Amino acid sequence: MSITPLLAQTSACSEIRRGCGFDIFALRARICFALGCYIALAGFSANAGVTKMKLSGYLTARADASTLMILDDRLELTTASKIIGKDDSGEHPLQLADLAPGMLIEAEGQWLDRHRFFPERLTVDLRQNDRKIHGSAYLQEEPQDASKIASGEASLLKVDGYWLSLDGTTKRAWNVAKAGIGLSAKDSGASTLLAGYRVKYFGSPGRDGRIAAEEVELGPPAPADDYKMPHNLEIVRAKDQQTGIDVLEFREGKKLQGRMKLLAERTVQEYVSHLGDSLIPEGAKGTRRPIEFRFFVVEDPEINAASLPDGTLLINTGLLGALENEAQLAFILSHEMAHVLQVHYRREIEETRGSRVGLTIAGLAASAFIGNAGMFMAQIGIASAVNGHQRELENQADRLALQNVIEHGYDPREAPNFSRIVINRYGNRTTSKLWSNHDSSLIRGSFLTIQLMREYPEGHWDTARKNTSAFQNMKDDLGPVKIM
């Protein structure tokens, strides 16, 4: 091939470049550079758009050698997943084989699908795996073996959602007279009823679900003031003067601080009150300040319920709309009553006293309704009633609620199943206040699942009650409601 045409072509191109005033090859280079930058930026944006998520809960099962379960969520680990154990002394590397159901974990990674999660980093709270169990609780029912406990005999004690097994080696400080020192005859009850008295315990869990008690101590009931509303508030049922609708008023003396709309459908109110009354533990009879549990269905779309220190329970229409059966409602009512009987409001004040600031009530106009229950409760000093208590207190209320529904013949598996309802409805696992600041839906549901596995390893619930015609009638009378 002759080189002459190529030289002529090159010369022609040079003339074109000079004639046009720019170098076409330089332009091509600039275009390539710009395209490269665009591709790089696009790739960067795509990577930046992948947001790492955190997932917390108790491991409920192992699906296979590399897959862990938290309720219905699959945590799919690979060799790239970093596993860390954390305790009071710091962080420690762990192996996948070290992980077991019951461990509280926090996973950081990405969602692969609705129920599939890839953990890049998984942290295990090793403090949760202490084999010793200790705590204190107010007895919610009369101990059947009270005389045996006092005499040092082998006995069983149901307290704090656990069954304690006492034997000859158990150290006991079980003196009813000493525990009642300082109580009036009315408070100590000239009867020997112990429901409402405090018990401290320490022991080790066994394979049968019971706690081998090493120490137990009987103490007095909670002070009467622990059941008082802050600022001496009174909660009164009333009617709106303009519309005639039923309302719940929060009053400080003669001053109205806020109002909530009550659901107008009386059959729904009556059903919830009747069910609540049937679930009240015996411990309510042993409090030093008489507790009258009252149950009110309020018009609020959030899936939530709240308990106030004086025994008032608020049940949102959004909650009733989301529930599937009576066992779920029975658990939630039992959970809220446990908050009252265990004086969680007072305990939280004492344990967070250093971080609390002065609280004032922002008075509302007499005609105004409470638009944000959480904000209003915060203003009167009981935000935890709506937004949830500390995890330790929530776990205690859950344990006691499980025990209460089991005693009343309900299927306790419906408690974690309600967490699944919230998760499937909201997807992000942390939306509902009932299960978010009452920790996340996943933590709540997985804790309940583990509690049933540990405390009732031989539980047979297939014949337990899930639903009733009364619940279905309530749902029909409730009709469609807004749910948030």
The answer on pLDDT for 454 being more than 60 is: yes
Sequence ranges of the domains in the chain = 56-129, 133-221, 226-478
Mean pLDDT along residues 231-238: 88
Question: What's the fold here for domain 56-129?
Answer: OB fold (Dihydrolipoamide Acetyltransferase, E2P) (2.40.50)
For residue 129, what is the DSSP state?
G
With 80 as the cut, is the pLDDT of residue 362 above it? no
The DSSP bridge partners found for residue 172 are 216
Closest CA to 422 of 410, 405, 439, 434: 434
What are the two backbone dihedrals, phi and then psi, of residue 180, each rounded to the nearest 5 degrees? -95, 5
> Encoding tokens for residue 137?
């609780």
Provide the β-strand partners of residue 307: 313
How far is Cα 459 from Cα 168, in angstroms, rounded to an integer? 28
Q: Over the stretch 172-226, which tens digit does the pLDDT of each residue have? A: 999 988 888 766 655 544 456 899 999 999 999 887 889 999 999 999 999 988 8
Distances (CA, A) of 57 to 15, 167, 293, 372, 435: 73, 35, 32, 28, 12
Residue 49: CB atoms within 10 Å: 7
Where does the pLDDT of residue 484 fall: very low under 50, low under 70, confident under 90, or very high at 90 and above?
confident
Question: Can you tell me the distance from the alpha carbon of 193 to that of 176, in angstroms, rounded to the nearest whole number?
Answer: 10
pTM above 0.75, yes or no: yes
CB atoms within 10 A of CB 239: 12
Q: What is the pLDDT of residues 318-347, one digit of tens each?
A: 999 999 999 999 999 999 999 999 998 888
Q: Let me know: does 262 contact 235? Beta carbons within 8 Å.
A: no
**Token output for 225:** 């003031």
Residue type for 59, please?
A: L
- 17 touches 27 (CB < 8 A): no
Q: Are 298 and 250 in contact (CB under 8 A)?
A: no
66-70, 348-352, 417-421: range with highest mean pLDDT: 66-70
Closest CA to 136 of 402, 311, 396, 345: 396
Span 405-426, pLDDT tens digits: 999 999 999 999 998 888 877 6
Cβ-based neighbours of 364, under 8 Å, separated by 6 or more = 256, 257, 258, 259, 370
User: Mean pLDDT over residues 115-122, rounded?
Assistant: 94
Q: Is the pLDDT of residue 37 over 70?
A: no
DSSP sequence for 8-44? HHHHHHHHHHHHHTS-HHHHHHHHHHHHHHHHHHHHH
Q: What is the dihedral of CA 293, 294, 300, 301, to 10 degrees?
A: 60
Query: What is the spatial distance between Cα 249 and Cα 369, in angstroms, rounded to a whole number?
Result: 9
Instruction: State the greatest distance between any 2 C-alpha atoms of the chain, in Å, as a whole number.
Output: 124
